[in-house]
Protein backbone atom coordinates (compact mmCIF):
# COMPACT_ATOMS: atom_id res chain seq x y z
CA UNK A 1 0.00 0.00 0.00
CA UNK A 2 2.93 2.30 0.76
CA UNK A 3 4.39 1.71 -2.68
CA UNK A 4 1.17 2.55 -4.46
CA UNK A 5 0.80 5.61 -2.30
CA UNK A 6 4.21 6.86 -3.22
CA UNK A 7 3.73 6.20 -6.91
CA UNK A 8 0.40 8.00 -6.85
CA UNK A 9 1.93 10.97 -5.11
CA UNK A 10 4.57 11.01 -7.80
CA UNK A 11 2.18 10.93 -10.74
CA UNK A 12 -0.23 13.49 -9.37
CA UNK A 13 2.29 15.59 -7.46
CA UNK A 14 1.04 19.05 -6.70
CA UNK A 15 -2.52 18.39 -7.75
CA UNK A 16 -4.67 18.23 -4.63
CA UNK A 17 -8.19 19.37 -5.50
CA UNK A 18 -9.64 19.21 -2.02
CA UNK A 19 -10.69 22.85 -2.21
CA UNK A 20 -12.76 22.51 -5.42
CA UNK A 21 -16.42 22.08 -4.34
CA UNK A 22 -17.59 20.66 -7.66
CA UNK A 23 -14.86 18.08 -7.58
CA UNK A 24 -15.64 17.21 -3.99
CA UNK A 25 -19.31 16.69 -4.91
CA UNK A 26 -18.30 14.34 -7.73
CA UNK A 27 -15.97 12.46 -5.41
CA UNK A 28 -18.77 11.95 -2.89
CA UNK A 29 -21.19 10.86 -5.62
CA UNK A 30 -18.63 8.45 -7.05
CA UNK A 31 -18.35 6.70 -3.68
CA UNK A 32 -21.96 5.53 -4.14
CA UNK A 33 -21.84 4.87 -7.88
CA UNK A 34 -20.64 1.27 -7.72
CA UNK A 35 -22.91 0.21 -4.87
CA UNK A 36 -25.96 1.93 -6.39
CA UNK A 37 -25.30 0.34 -9.79
CA UNK A 38 -24.92 3.65 -11.60
CA UNK A 39 -21.93 2.38 -13.58
CA UNK A 40 -22.26 0.51 -16.83
CA UNK A 41 -20.05 -0.60 -19.69
CA UNK A 42 -20.51 0.27 -23.33
CA UNK A 43 -18.55 -1.46 -26.06
CA UNK A 44 -16.98 0.11 -29.14
CA UNK A 45 -16.38 -2.21 -32.11
CA UNK A 46 -12.83 -2.59 -33.44
CA UNK A 47 -12.57 -3.59 -37.11
CA UNK A 48 -10.05 -5.42 -39.19
CA UNK A 49 -9.22 -3.18 -42.16
CA UNK A 50 -8.40 -6.04 -44.51
CA UNK A 51 -11.67 -7.96 -44.23
CA UNK A 52 -13.87 -5.21 -42.80
CA UNK A 53 -15.01 -7.45 -39.95
CA UNK A 54 -15.54 -6.68 -36.27
CA UNK A 55 -12.66 -8.41 -34.47
CA UNK A 56 -13.01 -6.92 -31.02
CA UNK A 57 -14.62 -4.38 -28.75
CA UNK A 58 -13.23 -1.90 -26.24
CA UNK A 59 -15.12 -1.70 -22.95
CA UNK A 60 -15.73 1.92 -21.92
CA UNK A 61 -17.15 3.01 -18.57
CA UNK A 62 -20.39 4.97 -18.43
CA UNK A 63 -21.68 6.71 -15.30
CA UNK A 64 -25.30 7.82 -15.11
CA UNK A 65 -25.99 9.72 -11.91
CA UNK A 66 -29.67 10.15 -10.90
CA UNK A 67 -29.28 13.91 -10.34
CA UNK A 68 -26.08 14.93 -12.09
CA UNK A 69 -26.87 12.98 -15.28
CA UNK A 70 -24.17 11.49 -17.45
CA UNK A 71 -20.65 12.13 -16.29
CA UNK A 72 -17.84 11.57 -18.79
CA UNK A 73 -14.98 9.19 -17.94
CA UNK A 74 -12.46 11.96 -18.52
CA UNK A 75 -14.04 13.73 -15.52
CA UNK A 76 -14.49 10.89 -13.06
CA UNK A 77 -11.61 8.52 -13.84
CA UNK A 78 -8.95 10.99 -12.67
CA UNK A 79 -10.88 11.37 -9.39
CA UNK A 80 -11.17 7.60 -9.06
CA UNK A 81 -7.41 7.35 -9.65
CA UNK A 82 -6.43 9.94 -7.07
CA UNK A 83 -8.75 8.62 -4.37
CA UNK A 84 -7.87 4.98 -5.00
CA UNK A 85 -11.49 4.15 -5.88
CA UNK A 86 -10.20 3.04 -9.28
CA UNK A 87 -9.03 -0.25 -7.78
CA UNK A 88 -12.59 -1.33 -6.91
CA UNK A 89 -14.07 0.24 -10.04
CA UNK A 90 -11.37 -1.29 -12.25
CA UNK A 91 -11.98 -4.72 -10.76
CA UNK A 92 -15.70 -4.35 -11.41
CA UNK A 93 -14.89 -3.45 -15.04
CA UNK A 94 -12.72 -6.56 -15.41
CA UNK A 95 -15.44 -8.86 -13.99
CA UNK A 96 -18.21 -7.31 -16.01
CA UNK A 97 -16.30 -7.23 -19.32
CA UNK A 98 -15.05 -10.80 -18.98
CA UNK A 99 -18.52 -12.09 -18.08
CA UNK A 100 -19.99 -10.26 -21.08
CA UNK A 101 -17.39 -11.65 -23.48
CA UNK A 102 -17.97 -15.17 -22.16
CA UNK A 103 -21.74 -14.75 -22.52
CA UNK A 104 -21.30 -13.70 -26.17
CA UNK A 105 -19.18 -16.76 -26.85
CA UNK A 106 -21.70 -19.06 -25.16
CA UNK A 107 -24.42 -17.48 -27.30
CA UNK A 108 -22.50 -18.64 -30.36
CA UNK A 109 -21.44 -15.22 -31.61
CA UNK A 110 -18.25 -15.02 -33.71
CA UNK A 111 -14.98 -14.91 -31.73
CA UNK A 112 -14.36 -11.40 -30.52
CA UNK A 113 -11.63 -9.92 -28.37
CA UNK A 114 -12.74 -7.90 -25.35
CA UNK A 115 -10.32 -5.09 -24.44
CA UNK A 116 -10.35 -3.31 -21.08
CA UNK A 117 -8.59 -0.08 -20.12
CA UNK A 118 -6.32 -0.49 -17.12
CA UNK A 119 -5.39 2.30 -14.74
CA UNK A 120 -1.89 2.91 -13.44
CA UNK A 121 -2.78 1.63 -9.98
CA UNK A 122 -4.29 -1.56 -11.33
CA UNK A 123 -1.25 -2.26 -13.46
CA UNK A 124 1.02 -2.04 -10.42
CA UNK A 125 -1.01 -4.47 -8.33
CA UNK A 126 1.15 -7.55 -7.85
CA UNK A 127 -1.84 -9.87 -8.15
CA UNK A 128 -3.24 -8.36 -11.38
CA UNK A 129 -2.27 -11.20 -13.75
CA UNK A 130 -3.46 -13.85 -11.29
CA UNK A 131 -6.73 -11.98 -10.79
CA UNK A 132 -7.35 -11.78 -14.54
CA UNK A 133 -6.37 -15.42 -14.99
CA UNK A 134 -8.87 -16.40 -12.28
CA UNK A 135 -11.67 -14.32 -13.80
CA UNK A 136 -11.05 -15.77 -17.28
CA UNK A 137 -10.98 -19.26 -15.84
CA UNK A 138 -14.21 -18.82 -13.86
CA UNK A 139 -16.01 -17.32 -16.85
CA UNK A 140 -14.58 -19.94 -19.22
CA UNK A 141 -13.17 -17.31 -21.57
CA UNK A 142 -10.13 -18.11 -23.74
CA UNK A 143 -7.39 -15.63 -22.68
CA UNK A 144 -6.74 -14.95 -26.39
CA UNK A 145 -10.19 -13.36 -26.48
CA UNK A 146 -9.15 -10.83 -23.86
CA UNK A 147 -6.92 -7.77 -23.98
CA UNK A 148 -5.79 -4.84 -21.87
CA UNK A 149 -5.01 -1.26 -22.89
CA UNK A 150 -2.33 0.75 -21.13
CA UNK A 151 -0.75 4.13 -21.82
CA UNK A 152 2.91 5.04 -21.80
CA UNK A 153 2.43 7.48 -18.92
CA UNK A 154 1.39 4.51 -16.76
CA UNK A 155 4.81 2.97 -17.26
CA UNK A 156 6.84 5.92 -16.04
CA UNK A 157 8.14 5.62 -12.51
CA UNK A 158 7.62 1.88 -12.14
CA UNK A 159 8.77 0.75 -15.55
CA UNK A 160 10.25 -2.63 -14.57
CA UNK A 161 7.29 -3.64 -12.44
CA UNK A 162 4.75 -2.56 -15.07
CA UNK A 163 6.63 -4.41 -17.80
CA UNK A 164 6.80 -7.53 -15.64
CA UNK A 165 3.03 -7.48 -15.09
CA UNK A 166 2.36 -6.98 -18.79
CA UNK A 167 4.69 -9.90 -19.58
CA UNK A 168 2.76 -12.09 -17.16
CA UNK A 169 -0.49 -11.19 -18.93
CA UNK A 170 1.00 -11.91 -22.34
CA UNK A 171 2.22 -15.28 -21.10
CA UNK A 172 -1.42 -16.12 -20.34
CA UNK A 173 -2.30 -15.22 -23.94
CA UNK A 174 -3.84 -11.84 -23.11
CA UNK A 175 -3.24 -9.16 -25.76
CA UNK A 176 -1.56 -5.93 -24.63
CA UNK A 177 -2.31 -2.66 -26.46
CA UNK A 178 -0.46 0.61 -26.06
CA UNK A 179 -3.16 3.29 -25.96
CA UNK A 180 -2.97 6.92 -27.16
CA UNK A 181 0.30 6.34 -29.01
CA UNK A 182 1.77 9.58 -30.30
CA UNK A 183 0.52 11.81 -27.49
CA UNK A 184 3.18 11.03 -24.90
CA UNK A 185 6.88 10.55 -24.69
CA UNK A 186 6.77 7.89 -27.36
CA UNK A 187 10.03 7.57 -29.09
CA UNK A 188 10.37 4.84 -31.62
CA UNK A 189 13.31 3.27 -29.79
CA UNK A 190 11.32 3.22 -26.53
CA UNK A 191 8.52 1.23 -28.13
CA UNK A 192 10.98 -1.59 -28.77
CA UNK A 193 11.37 -2.10 -25.01
CA UNK A 194 7.67 -2.51 -24.33
CA UNK A 195 5.89 -5.89 -24.20
CA UNK A 196 3.13 -4.79 -26.52
CA UNK A 197 1.10 -6.58 -29.20
CA UNK A 198 -0.85 -3.64 -30.58
CA UNK A 199 -0.06 0.05 -30.99
CA UNK A 200 -3.17 2.23 -30.88
CA UNK A 201 -2.50 5.41 -32.84
CA UNK A 202 -4.15 8.34 -31.10
CA UNK A 203 -6.87 10.07 -33.08
CA UNK A 204 -4.83 13.27 -33.25
CA UNK A 205 -2.43 11.39 -35.54
CA UNK A 206 -5.04 9.80 -37.78
CA UNK A 207 -4.95 11.73 -41.07
CA UNK A 208 -7.83 12.47 -43.41
CA UNK A 209 -7.78 12.74 -47.20
CA UNK A 210 -7.20 16.47 -46.80
CA UNK A 211 -4.12 15.87 -44.60
CA UNK A 212 -0.71 17.22 -45.50
CA UNK A 213 1.71 14.72 -47.01
CA UNK A 214 3.95 15.14 -43.94
CA UNK A 215 1.16 14.07 -41.60
CA UNK A 216 0.45 11.00 -43.66
CA UNK A 217 4.11 10.08 -43.68
CA UNK A 218 4.25 10.25 -39.86
CA UNK A 219 1.35 7.83 -39.63
CA UNK A 220 2.97 5.61 -42.23
CA UNK A 221 6.27 5.66 -40.32
CA UNK A 222 4.54 4.54 -37.12
CA UNK A 223 2.79 1.71 -38.96
CA UNK A 224 5.99 0.55 -40.67
CA UNK A 225 7.98 0.66 -37.47
CA UNK A 226 5.33 -1.19 -35.45
CA UNK A 227 5.20 -3.90 -38.10
CA UNK A 228 8.98 -4.25 -37.98
CA UNK A 229 8.61 -4.82 -34.23
CA UNK A 230 5.96 -7.52 -34.95
CA UNK A 231 3.23 -5.30 -33.51
CA UNK A 232 -0.20 -4.66 -35.00
CA UNK A 233 -1.55 -1.14 -35.46
CA UNK A 234 -5.03 0.08 -34.61
CA UNK A 235 -6.10 3.62 -35.50
CA UNK A 236 -8.45 5.32 -33.01
CA UNK A 237 -11.07 7.99 -33.58
CA UNK A 238 -11.74 7.22 -37.24
CA UNK A 239 -14.63 9.49 -38.13
CA UNK A 240 -14.79 9.30 -41.94
CA UNK A 241 -14.59 6.86 -44.79
CA UNK A 242 -11.68 8.87 -46.19
CA UNK A 243 -9.65 8.19 -43.07
CA UNK A 244 -10.45 4.49 -43.19
CA UNK A 245 -9.42 4.27 -46.86
CA UNK A 246 -6.18 6.14 -46.22
CA UNK A 247 -5.35 3.90 -43.25
CA UNK A 248 -6.08 0.73 -45.21
CA UNK A 249 -3.90 1.97 -48.06
CA UNK A 250 -1.07 2.43 -45.56
CA UNK A 251 -1.30 -1.11 -44.16
CA UNK A 252 -2.94 -0.15 -40.88
CA UNK A 253 -4.39 -3.37 -39.42
CA UNK A 254 -7.43 -2.24 -37.42
CA UNK A 255 -9.54 0.79 -36.66
CA UNK A 256 -12.27 2.02 -34.38
CA UNK A 257 -14.23 5.25 -34.34
CA UNK A 258 -17.54 7.02 -34.80
CA UNK A 259 -17.48 6.42 -38.57
CA UNK A 260 -18.33 2.76 -37.97
CA UNK A 261 -19.80 2.99 -34.48
CA UNK A 262 -19.56 4.73 -31.14
CA UNK A 263 -19.49 2.61 -27.96
CA UNK A 264 -22.86 0.85 -27.57
CA UNK A 265 -24.75 -1.03 -24.87
CA UNK A 266 -24.16 -4.79 -24.90
CA UNK A 267 -27.52 -5.61 -26.52
CA UNK A 268 -26.82 -3.29 -29.46
CA UNK A 269 -23.39 -4.85 -30.04
CA UNK A 270 -24.98 -8.27 -29.96
CA UNK A 271 -27.50 -7.28 -32.64
CA UNK A 272 -24.68 -5.88 -34.75
CA UNK A 273 -22.75 -9.15 -34.46
CA UNK A 274 -25.79 -11.30 -35.21
CA UNK A 275 -26.51 -9.22 -38.30
CA UNK A 276 -22.90 -9.77 -39.35
CA UNK A 277 -22.45 -6.03 -39.86
CA UNK A 278 -19.14 -5.04 -41.42
CA UNK A 279 -17.56 -2.15 -43.31
Which pairing describes strands 198-201 and 54-65: parallel, antiparallel, or unpaired? unpaired
> Which residues have a Cβ under 8 Å from the Cβ of 119 and sit 6 or more positions away?
77, 80, 81, 86, 90, 154
> Using CB under 6 A, which of the segments 48-56, 98-106, 158-166, 232-240 binds ligand C2E?
232-240
- 254 contributes a contact to Ca ion by CB under 5 A: no
Q: Which does 250 bind (CB under 5 to 8 A by kind): ligand C2E, Ca ion, none?
A: none
> Which residues have a Cβ under 8 Å from the Cβ of 29 and sit 6 or more positions away?
65, 68
d(CA 128, CA 56): 22
- 149 contributes a contact to Ca ion by CB under 5 A: yes
What is the x/- site pattern for ligand C2E, positions 46-85, by CB under 6 A?
--------------xx----------xxx--x--------
What is the x/- site pattern for Ca ion, positions 182-221, by CB under 5 A?
----------------------------------------
Other Cβ atoms within 10 Å of 266 Cβ, number? 18
- 190 contributes a contact to ligand C2E by CB under 6 A: no
Among the listed residues 85, 180, 231, 243, the single contact to ligand C2E using CB under 6 A: 180
Burial (Cβ within 10 Å: 0-12, 13-18, ≥19) of residue 264: middle
- 253 contributes a contact to Ca ion by CB under 5 A: no
d(CA 44, CA 47): 10
> Using CB under 6 A, which of the segments 113-121, 129-137, 169-177, 245-253 binds ligand C2E?
113-121
Decide: 123 and 87 in contact? Cβ < 8 Å.
no
d(CA 180, CA 220): 16
Smaller CB distance to ligand C2E: residue 4 or 224? 4
Q: Which residues bind ligand C2E (CB under 6 A)?
A: 44, 60-61, 72-74, 77, 90, 93, 117-119, 149, 179-180, 203, 237-239, 257-258, 263
Amino acid sequence: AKRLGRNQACIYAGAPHDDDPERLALETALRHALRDEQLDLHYQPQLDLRHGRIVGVEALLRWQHPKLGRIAPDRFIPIAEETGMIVAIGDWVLCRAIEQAAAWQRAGLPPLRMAVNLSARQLLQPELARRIEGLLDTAGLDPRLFGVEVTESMLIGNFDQAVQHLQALRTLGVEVSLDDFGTGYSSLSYLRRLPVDVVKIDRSLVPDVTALAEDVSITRAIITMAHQLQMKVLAEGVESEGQAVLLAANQCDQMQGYWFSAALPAAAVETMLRDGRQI
